[in-house]
Every structure is written in structure tokens, then in C-alpha cells.
Structure 1
Amino acid sequence: MLIGGATLAQEVPYEEYDLDNGLHVILHQDNTAPVITAGVMYHVGSKDEDPGRTGFAHFFEHLLFEGTENIERGQWFDIVSSHGGSNNANTTQDRTYYYETFPSNNLELALWMESERMLHPVINQIGVDTQNEVVKEEKRQRIDNAPYGKVIYGTGINPHLFGKHPYGKSVIGSMEDLDAAQLDEFIAFNHKFYNPNNAVLVVAGDIKIDETKKMISDYFGTITNNAPKPTRTVIEETPITNTIKETEYDSNIQIPLKILAYRTPGMKSRDAYVLDYISTLLTGGKSSRMYKKMVDEQKIAMQVLAFPRTMEDYGTYILGALPLGDVSLDTLTTAMDEEITKLQTELITDREYQKLRNQFENQFVNSNSSIQGIANSLARNYMLYDDTSLINKEIEIYRSITPEDIKRVANEYLKKNQRLELDYLAEPAQ
């Protein structure tokens, strides 16, 4: 058993332990408001899918709301809302997270529902068929028919950066793969991944620790594992040594977009935090470098962007700009490269450095300002970083970053010969 703690004013106390079946439990008690969040994060994402069966992890995000042996089909959301609660789920390349937020007098209901999802899910053909249509509609809305959808969800970028690793696949997957899958394949996926030994349960908010432990033992302690804990081997990508130049088309846009995308280290790397600093320096507000230069001064871009997508094994780093008027995409590339070169050759100013530190201090405090946010952070830090205590000490990593680190990371990862240059264009007229 471990007790978390730190010297920061916004310290988040927590307690964590394991049940005999391998389920990891994290408890955070905060009795200032009569609200609780209970969530279960499973270590399964799109990278865990078999070839030819993409989309399974995201599909299960939907499928496991269908019902259980003791919750009738279609009743999940009604039960939650009728007890004053809310719930949701989300899937990434690396994990799937389900959670409920309730008035604290419904803690036991939340625990029962999540134990039902783990122990007694009903996976049948009617549920698969129903959610198949739901997922198809989600893909149409978010990717196929949404402006810049393939950039927002990475489907127009990741396949060019990852040739071996499953990060090159879309999280939402292939509709053809889902259509071709048989019912027994969905059942097998559930048996393999949705077990106590592959999950973390977090309960945060207005709880009493001893009472909560007793409920958790009652509802989760007797659940057995259907399969051994999954083992993973990180698939090593071949280094990118020559610029990749590609074009993607989008029938939903009129203004093109220039993207520079790089493959970067996984989320546990300290350099991933340095790239966060670089993003904010370049496009974090109207006083940022790229915004001031390209939008305000040169008036060549109507919008600029820079952001990392951190994942467990690798990350990606995206720079982009939308042209103003008839400015060419090559002109945008030149301007972005000038800013990258500046990072690679000059240390940032003391004023910029202090502003970055202040912004991330504020961001760190805000990330722990809600019970839902705390629950998510605790689960994520344990599962993907192997360090629950990051909820209190992650700011120390940001504080340790120096101007020299920013220059070094820009030189190491933001090289022209190690990137994708993507022209994202409107679909040509037929």
C-alpha cells in the first residue's frame, strides 16, 4: 500500500492497493462537495487489435453500455440519469476509460454498475449490430464529413509516420473490419482484455475510505480473470531519414492546410514534456512566436497550430498553418521552418522562459480542480506512466526544463529529414 503526497499547496492525497485478482485500486477522499467519480480504465486500445480487425477497442467503448445480465439492454443511461448522475467513456491507442459521476450517496450504485460491466456484460448479435451503426455514424460525423477531420483524428497523418507500429491505424478503425467480424471474435476480445488484472479502478470524491474499501471488495473482489494479463512487445519503428511528402484531400474544406509532422518519444520520456513547452512557445496564444510572426506581422496565415500527441510507445508532434488569401503552402513551410531553426540555434529569452513556467504552473493547478479530472489523472498516471504520484509531482518535471533543453529537443526531433510534409487540400472538382 502506498500513500501519495507532495509539498504543493494543491496536493492530491490518495491511497492505492491491489485486490487478490490483480485489480489495482486508487482512492482519493475529498469531502468538500457531495460528489463522487468512479472510473475503470482498461489497458487496451487500438494498438492491441489484430490485423484485419481494427476498431475493436473503440467499438467496445460503445458495446459495453449495451447492458449486462442484471442491467437490461438500453437501461444503462436511464439508471445513471435517474439517480442524478452522468457517465461517459473514451478510447485512445493505449487505453479505454469508463466513468460515472454521481451524488455521493450513489457511490455503491456506481461501483455495482462498473462491476457489472466487468463481470456480466451481455455481448450478443443485436448489440453488435446496433453499435456497428452507431460507430459508423460517429465516423461519418467526426472524420468523413467534418472539416479537417483526418487531421484532427490523425487518420491523415499517422499512417505516414508509422509503417510497423499499430499507431498507424485509426482508433475508430475500419468499418469493413467491423462488418466482417463474427460475434465470437467480440466475445474473445472481451475475455482477453476486460479483466481485473488489466484494469485500474479509481474512486474519487466524497467517500469514506474504509466503507469504500468494503464495497470494492464486495463488488470486485470475487471477479476472476478470463485470461492472463496481456503482455506486450513494443514494435520498433524504422527511423525516418528522408522527408516524407504526401497529399491528402478533404471534400469538406475550402482552405488548404500545411502540416509538418514528426515522430517523437513516448509519453514517459522527459523530452515529451519539453515538446509541450515548445508547443506553447510557438502557438500558445496571440503573443506566441508563430502567431505573432505569421498571423500578425507577415499576415500570411489565418491560423497556426503546434501540438504534441503523446502515446505510450511513441508520440507525434504536429505543426501547421492555414494560409491567408492566396499565400502558397510553400511560403507557410518556409515561415514555420524559420521558427524551428530559431529554436535550434538560439536560447529562448528569460521572459519567454518565465512565462512558460507560469503557464504550466497554472495548467497543473487547473488539471486537479475537479473530481472527474483527478480521477482520470490518477488512473492514467498509474496505467500509462507507472507512477500514480505524478498527480502531485509532474509539475516538478516541467520546472526542471531549461532553455538548453528546449534547444536540444528542437535539434533532436524537429529535423527536416525526419518529418512528414503534408499538403491537406480541398477535394478537386470532378
Structure 2
Amino acid sequence: MKKCLLILASLVFIGFQASAQKVEFEEFDLDNGLHVILHQDNTAPVITVSVMYDVGGKDLGGSPEAPRTGFAHFFEHLLFEGTKNIGKGEYSKIISANGGNNNANTSLDRTYYYEVFPSNNLELGLWLESERMLHPVIDQVGVDTQNEVVKEEKRLRYDNSPYGQFLFAVSENLFKVHPYKNKNIGEMSDLDESTLEEFKDYHKKWYGPNNATLVLAGDFETAKAKALVKKYFKDIPKGNTPVRNFPKEAEITETIEAKFYDPNIQVPAIITAYKTPGFKERDAYVLSMVSAYLSGGKSSKLYKKIVDDKKMALQVGAINIDQMDYSIYALYGLPLGEVTLEALLAEIDEEIVKMQSELITERDYQKLQNIFENRFVNSNSSIEGIAGSLATYYTLYDDVNLINNEIDIYRSITRQEIQDVVKKYLNPNQRVELEYLPEEKTNN
């Protein structure tokens, strides 16, 4: 009886946490098309000012005759160079001198900038982002400077990092016509060959207020915040309305076998990758649960079986890479000792077939529900995290309310649905089988 009461109490506590984390927000639009989201939370004297632009690595620069990769990521760097009213290299210095920190990141689908300040610097944060939107200095000096920065980032994070080109190798084999086949960081030859006018045209096309979402989260007074937003952003001219028309990918109906050679590794890897629905689709949520089931920690099915029990692999896992148009579902393993890639793949596939043949247990299902309840609570536990979620759900999902009710989607997914989705997408004839191999050294 006591045990039952403890279980009941824990369930009530989880439910309380989930409901207690509800995020209140207010939205409005300026006449120039800028969408603004306010989340007031006066529990701590901190604010986050962020802007998400609806432009990512899939949006190529250059021209239809000479498309250029890597432009969105390049602008993530370039828009820190300075503005008409902020000197070269002074942007981040101003932020740190006023007790703040800042960062930016780019995916294939969007670009995100944010600052975190003591709340008495709300106006400063808004001015900085309005300067970035209205008055950036895009000149040859800045382009040349950031070109070298991006090249160094590519060398450090990808070219010289073990398994650093894993995602590139998968994408270029999985996608044939959609720009998801390209590297988010871009090809350095594309950036080298791009003209200053091409960079200016790209900024004009994608970085207007009507292609952006501004989020304020934290300790502010709403009426004052609205007045400051209008003061700094209402006179920024509306930009063009970008139009996308990406080609559709054909279904994969036969296994695609591929190899990739990485000079930075000694242990090979086997990777299977599947083209799956974009992240707004219900099946994408189900696949996230499949990933957690297969490789959500050391007690997960793949790790427990292949690493712990059979000692066939150094590492094994499943990754659901969420993207707007098509997602990527990948399984991978690094063999241990004399284990072959073929043998390791057979063990991984055995777990997939098992999921296709029988329902996961009720106990495992409840474990999954607890994992996603915990993720939901943690995602709304910081002002910075809430700001990012609000921007993401509006810009990419067209539904800000997902910040509060996305968990209901996971709660509604059934064991039968999990089995059905694994049957639908994770079959050998629908995938790329990639051998990720050490590059043999040659003697000159």
C-alpha cells in the first residue's frame, strides 16, 4: 500500500511540474511585418533579447546559374562585424561591458541571434538587434575577415575532428536534389568565389523585419517593452517576401550503399540513414520516441544489448535529426575488436525488426513517457530556453502554443503507433548504408 501511495504521489508531482511550467506570452505584429513575442517573468532580474530569421543553410546564395552554399552560416558571423553606429569588432564588447553575453547559431532551416542581459539593459539589447537588422556594414573587409574565421571553424570542427563529417557524409548520399544535401557551413570554394554584391543581395532578400521574429523574455514591464520595440523597430523598412520552391526528393526503394573516408579516425563506423518526415509531422514525434527507446542512455535497448551484454561495440546509437522539409533518422555503431561492420549492422537491425514484430512493453512505454515529461519541464526551466522555444515554434512550426502543449502530442502516442512508424520508415530498402572508414595513409 505504501509503495502504491509513493507511485501515486510521484505521478501527481510530475503532473504538477508540467502544469506549473505553463509559459504565458503575448504576440503582436508591427506594420513592417516584424512578429514580436513577449514573455514576462519578473522572478529574476534577467532578460533575453533574441531574433530568429527564417533563413538557413538550405537557402543558397549566388544566382540560379551559380548557386552558393554556406551563405546563412556566413551571415551568422558577418552580422557581428559592426553597423553604421557600432564600430568594427565592438558589438560583443558592448554586450560584455554591460554585464551580458551573446551568441548565434544557424541550422539548415533558420538563423538565431540572442543576448542575455541584466534586466536594466533591455533598451540596449533592442537597440543592438535593431542595428543588426537595419544598419549592418557589409563590406569587403568584413567579408574577407569572416571568410577566414569560417575556414578556421570548418578545419577545427569538421575537417580535423574525428567523425566530424558524419552528417555531411549522410546528407550527400541521402538527398539528391533538395539543398539539404549541402553542408550547412558551406563549401569554402563557394564563399571564395562569391562577390560582395552577392552577399548584399542575400542580406536584402532574407534579413528584413517581415522575415524575422523578435522575442523578449524575462524581467520587464510590458507597456515599456512594447514602446521600446516600436521605437527601435517600427521604422525599419519591410523587406522582400522570399519564395521557396525546392525540388521534391524521390522515395528510396533500394538500399544505397556508400563509403566515406575520414583521415582523423582509427575505428570505422557503420551508419544507416533514412529520409523521414519533416518535424511538424506527427510521425516525426513518434520517431523521436523511437530514438529515446533505442539509445536514450546506457539502459537503452541498443546500448544494453550491443555494448554492455554482447560487447560488440564501443558505441552505438540512434539519432533523429529534425528538419523542416525532410528529417534524417540515423543508426550507427563503432565495432569493438574483431567485430565486423556487417555483424554490428545485423545486431542493430535485429532490434529494429523486433520493434516491427511486437509492441514495446508497457514498462518501456511508461519509461518513454517519463523521459519526455522530463524534457518538457527542463525545456521551460530557463528564460533563455523559453526565448529560443518561442522563436522556434513561431518561425518553424507556425504554432507558438506548442511551447505549452507539445507534450500532449507525446502523451497521445501509443505503443501500436510506435510499431507502425518503425514498420513504415525503418526498412533496409529505404536507407543509405554508409561505411565510415579510416583513410589509409599513403607513403610518398
TM-score range, shorter chain: over 0.9
4+ residue runs over 6 A deviation:
none
| Counterpart residue number, 1:90 | 105
Instruction: Determine which of 326, 336, 351 is the counterpart of 1:314.
Output: 326
1:304 touches 1:320 (CA, 8 Å); kept in 2? yes
CA distance in 2, matches of 1:138, 1:256: 24
2:81 touches 2:89 (CA, 8 Å); kept in 1? yes
| Counterpart residue number, 1:127 | 142
**Aligned amino acid, residue 357 of structure 1:** Q
> Residue 7 of structure 1: CA displacement?
8.3
> Residue 251 of structure 1: CA displacement?
0.6
CA distance in 1, matches of 2:321, 2:183: 14
How do 1:15-414 and structure 2 match up within 5 A? 15-50=26-61, 51-151=66-166, 154-225=167-238, 227-414=239-426
TM-score, structure 2 length as denominator?
0.94
Moved more, 208-217 or 229-238: 229-238
CA distance in 2, matches of 1:131, 1:241: 42
For residues 33-63 of structure 1, the C-alpha deviation after alignment (integer angstroms, 9 at most, x for no partner) is: 0000000000001111145311110000000
**Aligned amino acid, residue 40 of structure 1:** V
2:18 touches 2:377 (CA, 8 Å); kept in 1? no
CA distance in 2, matches of 1:188, 1:26: 28
**Aligned amino acid, residue 98 of structure 2:** H
Overall identity of the aligned pairs, in % = 60
| Counterpart residue number, 1:3 | none
CA distance in 2, matches of 1:199, 1:52: 23
1:36 touches 1:107 (CA, 8 Å); kept in 2? yes
> What number of residue pairs does the alignment pair up?
422
1:38 touches 1:203 (CA, 8 Å); kept in 2? yes
2:204 touches 2:240 (CA, 8 Å); kept in 1? no
For residues 278-305 of structure 1, the C-alpha deviation after alignment (integer angstroms, 9 at most, x for no partner) is: 0011011121111111011111011111
1:132 touches 1:178 (CA, 8 Å); kept in 2? yes
CA distance in 1, matches of 2:289, 2:149: 38
For residues 339-367 of structure 1, the C-alpha deviation after alignment (integer angstroms, 9 at most, x for no partner) is: 00011110000000000000100010001
1:39 touches 1:99 (CA, 8 Å); kept in 2? yes
**Aligned amino acid, residue 290 of structure 1:** L
Give the gaps of 5 or more residues in structure 1: 1-5
Give the gaps of 5 or more residues in structure 2: 1-16
CA distance in 1, matches of 2:412, 2:86: 49
CA distance in 2, matches of 1:234, 1:386: 19
- 3-state DSSP of counterpart to 1:46: coil
> Residue 228 of structure 1: CA displacement?
2.1
For residues 380-417 of structure 1, the C-alpha deviation after alignment (integer angstroms, 9 at most, x for no partner) is: 00000000000000000000010011101101110100
- 3-state DSSP of counterpart to 1:197: helix
CA distance in 1, matches of 2:67, 2:244: 19
**Aligned amino acid, residue 351 of structure 1:** R
1:234 touches 1:313 (CA, 8 Å); kept in 2? no
**Aligned amino acid, residue 393 of structure 1:** N
TM-score, structure 1 length as denominator?
0.97
CA distance in 2, matches of 1:246, 1:428: 17
